Structure 1
Amino acid sequence: MASTSKDARINIVGAGIFGLSTALHLARRGYKNVTVFDKQPYDDTEYSYSKGCDAASADMNKIIRTAYGSQVEYQEMGFEAIEIWKEWNAELADGQDLPPGLTSSDRVFVNCGSLSFTDSEELHPFEIATIKTMESQGHKDTQLVTNDPRHVAIAKSRGQEGACDPFHRRKRGKSSLGVLDSSGGVTIADKACRFALHKARQLGANFVLDPVAGAFDSFMLSSLGRVQGAKTKDGKSHKAELTIMACGGLTPSLVPELDGLCEATGGSVVIYKIPKSSSLWDRTSPENFPTWLWNMRSGAEGGLYGFPRTDEGFIKVGYRGTKYTNPRTQDDGQQRSVPITRWSGKETGEELQQIPVQAMRVIRGFLDEYLPELGEEGIDVALTRVCWYTDTFDNHFVVDHVPSKEGLFVVTGGSGHAFKYLPNIGNWIVDVIEGVQTDRPAIKAWKWRGSQAETSVNVLMEGSQGSRALDNVQLVGKNREERAKL
């Protein structure tokens, strides 16, 4: 690509964070014929899940953190991203040439801190490694241990004292040990995507966002098997020198070469609606409450994360202790997990409004112990959702040309931690496309690689007989009577 003219046609399939950021940075570097295709009419739906968007990027909020244990590459990319998040906030505040629906009072990043905590009496080795790595890279006192008086004083000086004990454990005489990543916080995901889309358009990127005209159908192939572009559901062919697949949870089923490297997996989400009259309204605001992660490395009985309330009063709690799958047999006879959502029934005859019972049990057990005010005030579940990610076996992204498929490039494998890089990941992706500084640790980790090893973080492609397959687990939704039976 380094020798390719900036006039060359480049197609990107998918307008989630990978596709948006890639388009933005290609356009920023002067590529003049970049077109993004997506079946979601995002100009109308505004990346809102409640309006029918079912991609992982279409969400109310996502966690921003720089804490990554000993993984310096992701840590430093996080700090790089945060600086740009702050720039985007400043651009919004300036109020000049904003996309429809956004105003100068909107923010896309709130530095409320990100708390990783545990019910153990000792910090997890990951947290200890994070502190050590931060200090070695010149980020001393960004990671604040919640039972260290000096660190609590630092948090207070930064307006984050409440983030050290957001669940009021100390007031209740209970233990609460964790590490507050004071550099992190929350991004308002749907607004961030809309702003990124707007910025990419300003720089000349084109978008086809339509259920038919923007929907990928198949690849255009030469007689030698080179990918020469993509066909969309309206029957049109879109020739391109490079086709980039950035389709979120759909990518592994559209690019079968990813077998064993990537799989679509479902995270479980429960949302509560906090009324303004609640004692939790002020306490859970972004000014007083952090994003948080609880027992993230404890298997099926842990893996929870959550957020401060939104402006509308929604509090989201997610579960990734078990990553569920939806295996379906495809035309080549191979079973691959494909997303099934509240909205997908229009296309497949299936829909999913519930979440697995195991997820609900862990979430409810946590909230009964850590946020009992929900039950005391009669605040009930407003919505349940399965959010589909694309996991790799090692949790590293995949950013590379597809072997044996000249002209085809994939950007996938977010593994539940990619959204924070919306402002800057595209710059790295374009470096890969152009072959710039590809010896950097992050880019080396994202290269195309063999299938899962014994040391895999995630076990993939267990198929329809696997214990994580949704067809094999009991589901439950927001219905109070159903949940009462658990």
Structure 2
Amino acid sequence: MSPDPISKASPIVIVGAGVFGLSTAIHLAKRGYTNVKLLDKQPYHDSKYSYDKGYINKIIRAAYGSQVEYQELATDAIASWESWNEEIKSGKTLPPALLGSPPKTDCSSTTRDTIANMTKVGLRETQVVWNNPDDVDRATKQGFGFAVNPFNRKNNFGVLDTQGGFVYADRACCFALHQAKALGVNLILGGMKGTFSNFLGEANSHITGVRTADGVSHCAELMIMACGGWTPTLVPQLDNVCETTAGGVCIFQLPPDSTLWDRFAPENFPTWTYDMRNGESGGLYGFARDSHGAVKIGYRGTKFTNPQTQADGTARSIPITRWTQQSTRQLPLTAARVIKNFVQDFLPELIPCATKTRLCWYTDSFDNNFVLDFVPGVRGLMVATGGSGHGFKFLPTLGAHIVDRIEGNQNPYLHFWDWRSLRSGMKPYNNIMEGVDSERSLHRQGLTKHDSLKELRSSL
């Protein structure tokens, strides 16, 4: 329910200092809102969003197949990432560079649509088709030859997106947090003081704020829930709109001063995706090594769930992390098998380097679009969620659209992110809310035996 217009001095509370929460806070402050409070249970001002405490590098891409609107949004976001990098280089701020240098390469049939749509907007030369000699020659002259067919595949089809690459997720969030603070956002991070306890007001009709675990009440004319994988549980109205899901990640630790160190260096190896829409056997992505020698390969071909029955009797998927309960570092055998087979076929030199695994949690909407809207029937409550595995790249810009929603401004993209429901006859992009009997439920998955791929490595 859209609220009455709020003044620039009205209290606004955002729960969640991840991508959607940070971006919203920044753009509210830039539009002149002077009473914005950002809460999070994590002490990000101390942890710096580090990988060991949960954050990992993220893919940046402008290639979106037939989804022209997201292509436009991504191109705009990339320009903002570059602007952030330039601001950092100027010495005005302290965090190191955010946007990594490797381009992104894609092995997927959707790339044909990308080529067509990039051509329409005059960006054809940013796309390099691997089996097009003119494209490959151009890429080589531009210094991108290493990113053309990096797996030495016999069926040499793929596309290199020279606009894409990766972003250092921890540095990006640190810089965004720095911006929010500099713009006057009130940050309350870590411990009981930053942990959501319950809403104030009438849960089903009018929210007037939030109480944190330390017992403090934070009154708000507008509450914005941007809690990542916890949002669907805290806002049950999202049932059948969004669900929390997990992908598998394996880390390969390279020995220093080795040929592998150079082989997988960012200047020698691209960010990549592989068969992202090929169901259980595809959905792979990966990165060059980081500064510590870690090579990350992820799997999203199966979107695993962790349904837990809530107080109202509904089973909702919630993240399993070290901050909520005993976490698991084991992988579902499906994820481990697909990663293992891919590495065995295309990057066998990494096999001895497999060291640890983890689950990476997302919030998927049924149609893979974000949900940036007011909760129907509830005054004073809004959600910014449903990143669906592709939201991070919009960190610098997404908040501007959220503020447009708050202000009721005309915006050509907002209709994609309306509150909505799955209509009869509509085929969902993501099947969600399948419950404890789902084949994707972690309850029904065999898991690797160790906090690594050791047993898989020994079988190769």
State the one-letter code of the partner of 2:343: L
Shift in Å, 1:176:
2.3
CA contact (8 A) 2:15 2:21 kept: yes
2:183 to 199, 203, 206: 203
The SS at the match of 1:234 is coil
Residue 406, structure 1, aligned to residue 379, structure 2: yes
TM-score of the superposed pair, with normalisation by structure 2: 0.96
Equivalent in 328, 334, 339 of residue 358 of structure 1: 334
Which runs of 5 or more structure 2 residues have no equivalent in the other structure?
none
Instruction: Tell me how far 1:424 sits from its aligned partner.
Output: 0.6
For the pair 1:73 / 2:88, whether they are aligned, the reply is no
Residue 276 of structure 2 aligns to which amino acid in structure 1?
A: M
How far is the alpha carbon of 1:166 from its aligned partner?
Answer: 1.8
Matches within 5 A, 1:63-462: 63-98=59-94, 102=95, 106-117=96-107, 124=109, 126-169=110-153, 174-222=154-202, 225-341=205-321, 343-344=322-323, 347-348=324-325, 350-375=326-351, 378-379=352-353, 381-438=354-411, 440=412, 442-451=413-422, 454-462=426-434
CA contact (8 A) 1:113 1:185 kept: yes
Deviations 1:117-138 (A, max 9, x none): 15xxxxx1x2111111111122
Structure 2 counterpart of 1:16: 18
What SS class does the counterpart of residue 110 from structure 1 fall into?
A: coil
Cα distance between partner residues in 2 of 1:196 and 1:189: 11
Q: Secondary structure at the match of 2:301?
A: strand
1:312-336 per-residue CA deviation (whole Å, 9 max, x = no partner) reads: 1110000000000000000100000
Cα distance, 1:223 vs. partner? 9.2
Superposed counterparts of 1:18-37, under 5 Å: 18-37=20-39
Query: Which position in structure 2 is the counterpart of 1:121?
Result: none
SS, match of residue 355 in structure 1: coil
Number of positions where the alignment pairs a residue of Structure 1 with one of Structure 2: 455
| Cα distance in 2 between the residues matched to 1:420 and 1:23 | 17
Partner SS, residue 177 of structure 1: coil
Aligned CA RMSD, in angstroms, stands at: 1.6
Q: Cα distance, 1:3 vs. partner?
A: 3.4
Q: Is the 8 A contact 1:452 1:459 kept in 2?
A: no
CA distance in 2, matches of 1:449, 1:278: 52
C-alpha separation in 2, matches of 1:224 and 1:21: 27
Read off the aligned partner of 1:446 and give its amino acid letter: W
Runs of 4+ in 1 over 6 A off after TM superposition: none
Q: CA deviation at 1:429?
A: 1.0
Following the alignment from structure 1 to structure 2, what is the Cα–Cα distance between the partners of residues 92 and 429? Answer: 25
Query: How many angstroms apart in 2 are the aligned matches of 1:255 and 1:223?
Result: 10
Aligned twin of 1:474: 446
Counterpart CA distance in 1 for 2:93 and 2:275 is: 43
Percent sequence identity over aligned pairs: 49
Distance 1:485 1:373 in 2: 15
Unaligned runs of 5+ in 1: 119-123
Name the aligned partner's letter for residue 189 of structure 2.
L
User: Structure 1: how far apart are the matches of 2:14 and 2:77?
Assistant: 22
Shift in alpha-carbon separation, 1:301–1:482, aligned structure 2, 3 A: closer
Q: CA deviation at 1:182?
A: 0.9
CA contact (8 A) 1:2 1:434 kept: no
Shift of 1:481: 3.3
Q: 2:25 corresponds to which letter in structure 1?
A: A
CA distance in 2: counterparts of 1:269 and 1:236, whole angstroms: 38
